[in-house]
Chains A and B, each alone.
Chain A
Amino acid sequence: MRSKTATFILSCRFVSVTILLGWHANLHAQPNLEGVWGIDPTLFRQYSELQYTPEGQRRAEAFNPLTDDPSYGCIPSGLGRAWDEPDTSAKIEQFEDYVVISYEMFDLVRNIKLNQNGHPLQADPSTHNLDGVAIHTMGHSIAWYEDDALMIETLAYAPGYVTTLRRVPPQSEAMRSIERITVDDDDRLLVEISYSDPINYTEPLIATNRYYRSDFEFIVYGCVSSNPSEEGG
């Protein structure tokens, strides 16, 4: 039979361990990413040097801005295009088992499930616009929290271009991306994305954007598609 002293010591140890575990858990608490974010002009569209495969080089050079940029049709060319957008805001909402990232541009809503056992065999697009149109160029995403970051893995991309602003890195069905989203000590959102695509790149393409909390109300964008080849002249 334990003495009262032994029981007290054991209790203290239990409490200490509990406190330590709690402290550790608190150190790596789920980050608060909620809010409306607008791009930080001092750190955006930072891409690593493109390391193309011959096929990637061919696809990049084949890009015709008048016919191959789906932006004219209110469709983002890829995930990077949504994050690179400077004129509009992105909104993050965190729920118990999923995260919603909305982009004002083109009225995109991205529903991402947390803590999944991999992607489903039928990986339907995670992103839709307000009309319910599936955005295949932004793939299927799953997410989890890792330390102080929200991590998002995306597969099942439709072929296209990661972005069409200033550069046009192509993307294939084989592309996989990992987004790491954190908030820094100055309450700025940092989005780092690694794109791996063995068809187009010999090395992962790394993109970095930073965002401030936006003062603007998050509004409906109401995109009107156009055909650039039919205007002007």
Chain B
Amino acid sequence: MLQAHHSTALNFSDEVVSFEGTVASVKWINPHGSFVLEVTNEDGVVEEWLVEMLARIALQRGGFDFDAFEEGDRIQVSGRRGYREYTLRFGEATLPDGTVVKERLPTTQRFRK
């Protein structure tokens, strides 16, 4: 998938991790959408993970459902672990009803030839 604004290669490793947690806050903005996920670790301590997504403009053009989850929702998130602690590059989210939410760039519909 195309990435923008800052390089995922420079900011995120290839290690894919998965967490379940509670959405604490959401920002649908440019140059990056993001949300904070509160995750309780094995020691019972709550960690705040910053989950980075594409820019709002890209999510919007890709048909992303901005209402898929909101603050207070409990979701499972997987993605690439950031080189900086407690950061994650969004891969997908699984909602309580099993719905899987992904980013999508409509490259095939986006351009006419």
Interface residues of A (CB under 8 A from B): 38-41, 63, 65-66, 69, 71-72, 74, 85-88, 104-106, 164-168, 186-187, 212-216, 219, 221-224, 226, 228-229, 231-233
Contact = CB atoms under 8 A, between A and B. Distances in A.
A221 B113 contact: no
A16 B29 CA distance: 61
Interface string B101-113: 0000101011111
30 contacts: A38-B110, A38-B111, A39-B2, A40-B111, A41-B2, A66-B84, A71-B31, A86-B2, A86-B105, A87-B4, A87-B5, A87-B54, A87-B105, A88-B4, A106-B31, A164-B7, A165-B7, A166-B7, A167-B7, A186-B113, A214-B111, A215-B109, A215-B111, A219-B57, A222-B29, A223-B31, A231-B87, A232-B48, A232-B84, A233-B48
A224 B29 contact: yes
B108 to A, nearest CB: 9
B10 interface: yes
Given A166-B10, A228-B84, A232-B50, 17 more contacts: A69-B6, A71-B5, A71-B6, A72-B6, A86-B2, A86-B4, A86-B105, A87-B5, A87-B58, A88-B58, A106-B31, A213-B111, A215-B112, A216-B61, A221-B57, A222-B29, A233-B48
B45 interface: no
A147 to B, nearest CB: 25
A96 to B, nearest CB: 29
B36 to A, nearest CB: 7
B102 to A, nearest CB: 16
A63 B11 CA distance: 12
Contacts of B111: 38, 40, 212-215
B55 interface: yes
A87 B2 contact: yes
B43 to A, nearest CB: 16
Interface residues of B, number: 38
Interface of B: 2-7, 9-11, 27, 29-32, 34, 36, 47-50, 54-55, 57-58, 61, 82-87, 105, 107, 109-113
Contacts of B84: 66, 228-229, 232
A223 B33 CA distance: 11
A231 B50 CA distance: 7
B86 A233 contact: yes
B55 A87 contact: yes
Contacts of A223: 30-31
B31 A168 contact: no
Given A38-B110, A66-B84, A164 B6 contact: yes
4 tightest Cβ-Cβ pairs between the two chains A and B: A232-B50, A212-B111, A87-B58, A86-B2
Of listed B7, B54, B58, B83, residue having the most chain A CB within 10 A: B7
